[in-house]
Structure 1
Amino acid sequence: MNKTVLAAIIVVIAMLGFTYLAVGSAGGMGGEHDWVNKLAVLGAVVLVIVTAFVVTKYVRQMQYDRASGKLADENWDGIGEYKNELPFGWAVIFLGLTIWAIWYFLAGYPVNAYSQIGEYNEAVAEHDAKFEEQYKNMDESTLKEMGGSIFIVQCAPCHGLQADGIDGKAANLHHRIAEKSVKHVIMNGGNNNILGTGVPMPDRNGLMNANTGALITDAEIDAVAKYVAGGLKGTEGADVFAGTCAACHGPDGKGMEMVAPSIAVFNPTLVANILSHGKKGAIGTMPAFNNLTEVQVKALGAYVTDLSK
């Protein structure tokens, strides 16, 4: 027997023996259903055998084979390349490993394996379902109380414990909208899905004052921004609002379903849509809060709505 082949056989036997000592005799194979360790040991065995086979094959080729076959037309500084076919064994090994890899990931492991994250998500979903069932019929007072607790955890880091926006870093939720925010929307338009859909508001180039028959001016923007931010009170800017904004937002500014949102006060639907889609404005971007349950969104809507009354 060739010395190279004999050496390969000895190495394979030694490596398999070492593998058995490392995981088999020490109980490392685990229980009957411990597929992870069993697959790991199987992979180690296959790896040892394939490695020994490949190394032996190419050592013997270096010892005995001579170059033969047809050279390719291309060469690099006089160094040519033979037109050799892909070795059949390589193709079989590649195909086999590909099939095994697909099975391993989709059926064997890890997709079909135990996951701490998966167990956590299942536990959270189960808890959320119990939570929703327990609190689905709360009265208004309890709903606002829960909303206040959720607000402290989820909203207060930006809006402040008093919901005053922490010096303009976030919206002051005691008022529906600030003057600079009104100007920003008028100048740039808006499409924040706060109606639950992507209905856009045009920018100033699409806003006509019906009273004058012309596009809204800078002076009119300043006036209507103060009027809206002031809670639609007083007379300054009221005529601009009536001629430009009331057609969509309503004469009282409380919005029209599927047309425009309320710009007078918050309401639970408006709060829910902002939580679902986030919001971009003059201050910056508020992210969406999709980690909240329906009851939590409802509670926050009740709490924030009460703040702006």
Structure 2
Amino acid sequence: MNKLYLAAVVFVAAMLGFTYVAMDIKGGLNGDIVNMLAILGAIALVIVSVFVVTKYVRQMQSDTAGGELADEKWDDIGEYKNPLPMGWAIIFFGMIIWAGWYFVAGYPVNAYSQIGEYNEDSAAANAKFEKKYANLSQEELHNMGESVFLVDCAPCHGLAADGMDGKAANLNKRLEAKTVAYVINHGSNNHLAVHQEMTNGKLVKTTSMMPDRNGLFNSSTNALITDAEIEKVAKYVSNGMKGDGADIFAATCSSCHGPDGKGMDFVAPNIAAFTPAFVADILSHGKKGAIGTMPAFTNLNDTQIKAVSTYITDISKGE
């Protein structure tokens, strides 16, 4: 027997022996069909791979070049015409067709998915939850909102919703001075709704963005807002639209936010007080501000979002 073939046989025998020893150490197949198929596949792969490699190595050792040369030459070196083997071409295109089936109608699209099962179960649970709590009173919404707040919001905003020394926003008031100053300086484009309405049974939202300080003019001075004016109007807004700074607000901010800061539909949000719709929008989409970025709470269903929004709006009013 040729030494190359002998080496191939010895190698295959060694690999099969190693596989047997490894299986024995792990306790055998235990009648598991998946393990059996895996071992059979591994054995077939080893045998086919070794003997295919052996065949071509042997062919390289003994065969001589032959066939029809192509017309082109490079540095007087010719190249044989080697047409694509029909069997190889059929297998290649067959694998392309199989891959298309596999990804579109085969395994991952049509197969069992733990994530898919979780999403289906979550949707069913949320539908049952929302049906059960479809007609809650204001007090019931407040109480449910407090429970959800303690679980999902308190870790950052604190049990008293005071922001825990700046870790998160203080929800006991609509805005703090540093938040107002940050938005004036940097603008705001959080894609939060400034108007919401039902159209053909669907909630349609209108969003708006606020320019940074380079787009904010004080109509009384006909000039861009200054640092001193930003500081003064920020304190005015954070103080509940009271105190020094009313003139700056009227000349710079009221054209969008309204003379009382309660916002204008399609233009700007209410900055005088929280509203359930505004809080719900932040919970659904997240928000970036002076402290950092708050993520969207995709784990809450619509009823829970409504409840938390009611609770936060209430506590900001001192209720």
**Structure 2 length as normaliser, TM-score?**
0.77
Deviations along 1:105-156, one digit per CA (max 9) or x if unpaired, are 4333233222233222211111111011111211011101111111112111
5+ long unaligned stretches in structure 2:
24-28, 194-204
Structure 2 counterpart of 1:194: 192
Structure 1 counterpart of 2:214: 205
Structure 1 counterpart of 2:235: 226
Q: Does 1:179 align with 2:177?
A: yes
Q: CA deviation at 1:87?
A: 2.9
Alignment of 1:1-309 (within 5 A): 28-29=32-33, 51=49, 54-55=52-53, 58=56, 61-62=59-60, 64-69=62-67, 70=69, 73-74=73-74, 82=80, 84-195=82-193, 196-234=205-243, 236-309=244-317
Q: CA deviation at 1:42?
A: 9.6
Checking the alignment, whether the CA contact within 8 Å between 1:147 and 1:299 is kept in structure 2 is: yes
- Looking at structure 2, the residues matched to 147 and 255 of structure 1 have their Cα atoms a distance apart, in angstroms, of 25
Equivalent residues, number:
290
Question: Which amino acid counterpart does residue 280 of structure 1 have in structure 2?
Answer: K
Alpha-carbon distance change, 60 to 87 in structure 1, aligned in 2, over 3 angstroms:
farther
Alpha-carbon distance change, 283 to 26 in structure 1, aligned in 2, over 3 angstroms:
closer
Q: Percent identity?
A: 63
State the secondary structure of the residue aligned to 1:132. helix
Q: Which segment is superposed worse, 60-69 or 237-246?
A: 60-69
Checking the alignment, whether the CA contact within 8 Å between 1:193 and 1:274 is kept in structure 2 is: no
5+ long unaligned stretches in structure 1:
30-35
- Looking at structure 2, the residues matched to 74 and 300 of structure 1 have their Cα atoms a distance apart, in angstroms, of 77
State the secondary structure of the residue aligned to 2:94. helix
RMSD (Å), alpha carbons? 3.6
Structure 2 counterpart of 1:33: none
**Structure 1 length as normaliser, TM-score?**
0.79
Question: Which amino acid counterpart does residue 157 of structure 1 have in structure 2?
Answer: P
- Looking at structure 2, the residues matched to 204 and 174 of structure 1 have their Cα atoms a distance apart, in angstroms, of 27
- Looking at structure 2, the residues matched to 153 and 263 of structure 1 have their Cα atoms a distance apart, in angstroms, of 27
